[in-house]
Chains A and B, each alone.
Chain A
Amino acid sequence: MADTIHIAFIGNPNCGKTTLFNAFTGANLKVANWPGVTVEKKEGKTTYEGQEFKLIDLPGIYSLTSYTMEETVSRECIMSDEVDVIINVIDASSLERNLYLTLQLLELGKPVVLALNMMDIVEERGMEIDFHRLPEMLGTPAIPVSARKKTGLSILLHAASHHKEYQSQGPYIHHHKDKHSSHRHNHHEEYAMVYEDYIEDKIDLIMSALTKQYPEIVNKRWHAIKLLERDSTVTNSCPLSLENIICKSYEKDIINQKYDFIEEIISEVLVNKSEKAASTERIDRYMTDRWLGLPIFLCIMALVFFFTFTIGDWLKGYFEIALEMISQYASSGLASIHTNAMLTSLIVDGIISGVGGILTFLPNIFILFLALAILEDSGYMARVAFVMDDIMSMLGLSGRAFLPLLLGFGCTVPAVMASRALEHKKDRFKTVLVTPFMSCSARLPVYVLFSSMFFGKYAMLVCYSMYLLGIVVAIGTAYILSKLDGSKAEHTLLIELPEYKSPNARTIAIYVWQKIKDYLTKAGTVIFIASILMWAVLNFGPHGYVTDIGESFGSLIGKAIVPVFTPIGLGYWQIIVALIAGIAAKEVVVSSCSVLFGIQNITTARGMDAMVATLGELGFGAANAYALMVFCLLYIPCTATIATIHRELGSIKQTLGILLFQLLTAWSISFLVYHIGLL
């Protein structure tokens, strides 16, 4: 069979590119970063009629200039030999804007196949697209697909494999009635996008200069256009003395003429452009309303947490029963084969209790991510940026910075990475600094455990208050910072508000599965190792294996730091050791507590009662529990987050500064909360 065909998927953000890519590859894709930059690169494989295809998902971009990292990466990838055919995914419901990227792709000179996605929305609005006229005008196949219903997928691959040889497309059929070119070449027969004569004259001049100086360049027309635009990459890679040809940047002219041509395409291709008030606009009237927007958002978030806790806890009950059974079987099983006490202790108290305890929180985390995925896929998240923009700008941040913060409810690592979308360095630093204050899902087990132990029926309220406190601290910090640096931040909100759509089950399933997989992997690796380490630190002391935990290394370390934590109500060496262990991953605080206090299956009702009793003897009450939750919320984030912060900021000094700041904040606020709680 023929060699593997390499296909690159490219398109605007929110055009359904990833959904389409997932429809071909399923969840088995390889995710990595592009070399040298922190832009995600996804690869997958598929076969159609015995032909193998390698698929590359490029970042969503609006244009192929080289102003952003994403654009540069995409452009380099497409221009390289790595790609045989480009599939340009187009949101057919906003054809006008999507075609701008298409025209740029066509100029690259590689085979392009158009995949027109979201045709259902087009039909819903009573519009039609002329699929004969569109290829005639652009000289490239145009295939209607539905990424969500998985239709048109094979035709698309078919078109890609048959179209890969055709470098120049055509024939082009234009009806330029009012444009009579006096240009000596009739480029309308050669290219889809033809500029006005004064540009075409210059392109011809530059092309002949290029032919003389750089005969090896394949696509001279594209290089000529880029030189006219004064594109920095191309200008540097093939310097030409063009003083007499180019006296200014023609970028604006080129953009405007591309959009002029797009208007021409739209007028011929889009039939029945009756713009009846789309349902999106009706929904937006409420969602983005001046007064209703914020309350609606708060209600939605409250609902998300309500489901996370009620349904999550109900499912968690069954997980706990299973865990208790496993732990009992393991104990009796190990005893029956006469395993020595130390090994039994390691397996039952260390591993099963530690890792198992974390696994029982899977339902809560599953529901939280499910809810976030639905909000994101439906298109609501972008509205949140708009709704929050006024409040955020008072804090000297763009409404866009709210997205990383919101993602922070899920996991801080992707949230910190999402801060990349912010243009200004100062904005980015501020966002990275405050994002870890947003309570991530790993902290949830700590709240659930301690709030249900000490607050009974108010447990859910206490948990919700943690999330609110996280937001308040994050926002407060940003506010104080913007007051300190005094500068009116240069933030600007500019975000697309995509069409509302019913969320796609497959997209959500893949998203949630990836998160669950991360969580399970973490339970199997970091938490597994942390549990064993904890067990070792607590069962060995200066005199070897100890049966009394009070003589272990752990207790020695903890006891040394007790004075620092006494003022905030956490002056218990067990708690301190658990918190230190929690830096590995926040869930470890829970698993460590079970090991530290020697309570098996701490998340079950029986385990909790035992824990409350043990803690009660030490004088640890509700105020201490609340202070502990607050400290967990705010103190140093997990190792994965620290690594991400360092990678994003590229400075050890700034990273350490952030950690120190978070530690101090956690201490001060826990101090306040504890003393208020004592009153």
Chain B
Amino acid sequence: MTLKQGKNNGIYQVLSIHTELRLERRLEALGLTEGTCITILNNDKKGSLTARFRGTRFALGRQIADNIEVKEADR
């Protein structure tokens, strides 16, 4: 599943990221790499969503959220 398909308050683990290189670098610098756990905060809208990873809240655009492959994290 993709991050965009996640539910509010769900915790997901990143399997892979498929974006252009520059964006991938920026995500890496923010600590979003394979294996990172993401908590979705608000995924109500059609487009962007808000999520928390590595202790910080972010707003992620749809293009990003659609291109991050995740699985539900084991609690």
Contacts and interface: CB of A to CB of B under 8 A. Distances in A.
B22 interface: yes
Interface string A548-584: 0000000000000000000000000000000000000
A256 B59 contact: no
A138 B1 CA distance: 38
B41 interface: yes
Given A67-B22, A288-B42, A96 B58 contact: no
Interface stretch (A79-87, A109-117, A493-501, A618-626): A493-501
Interface string B23-46: 101111111011110000110111
Interface stretch (A156-164, A324-332, A382-390, A644-652): A382-390
B47 interface: yes
A289 B42 CA distance: 8
Contacts of B50: 284, 288, 386, 497
A511 interface: no
B4 to A, nearest CB: 13
Contact of A492 (B23, B28, B34, B44): B23
Interface string A91-130: 0001111001000000000000000000000000000000
Contacts, number: 109
Chain B binding surface, main DSSP class: mixed
B17 to A, nearest CB: 10
Contact of A399 (B19, B27, B35, B59): B59
Contacts of A491: 61, 63
Band of interface residues on B: 20 to 34
Contacts of A423: 22-23
A498 B55 CA distance: 11
B54 A252 contact: no
B44 to A, nearest CB: 4
A259 B29 CA distance: 10
A63 interface: yes
A393 B57 contact: no
Given A281-B41, A290-B45, A423-B22, A493 B30 contact: no
Contacts of A383: 59
Nearest to A386: B59
Contacts of A498: 57
A63 B26 CA distance: 9
A238 interface: no
Contact of B60 (A255, A259, A493): A493
A399 B61 CA distance: 8
A597 interface: no
A668 interface: no
B31 A67 contact: no
Contact of A493 (B19, B48, B54, B56): B48
A464 interface: no
Contacts of B18: none
A255 B24 CA distance: 12
A62 interface: yes
Interface in A267-292: 280-281, 284-285, 288-290
A65 interface: yes
A169 interface: no
B28 A255 contact: yes
B64 interface: yes
B58 A494 contact: yes
Contacts of A490: 63
- The 5 lowest CB-CB distance pairs between A and B, nearest first, are A493-B61, A63-B29, A96-B55, A386-B59, A497-B57
19 contacts: A67-B29, A96-B54, A252-B34, A256-B33, A280-B57, A281-B41, A385-B59, A386-B59, A389-B59, A492-B19, A492-B63, A493-B48, A493-B61, A494-B23, A494-B26, A494-B27, A494-B58, A494-B59, A494-B60
Given A383-B59, A423-B23, A493-B59, 16 more contacts: A62-B29, A67-B25, A67-B26, A94-B55, A95-B55, A96-B55, A97-B31, A251-B28, A252-B28, A252-B33, A255-B28, A399-B48, A492-B23, A494-B23, A494-B59, A494-B60
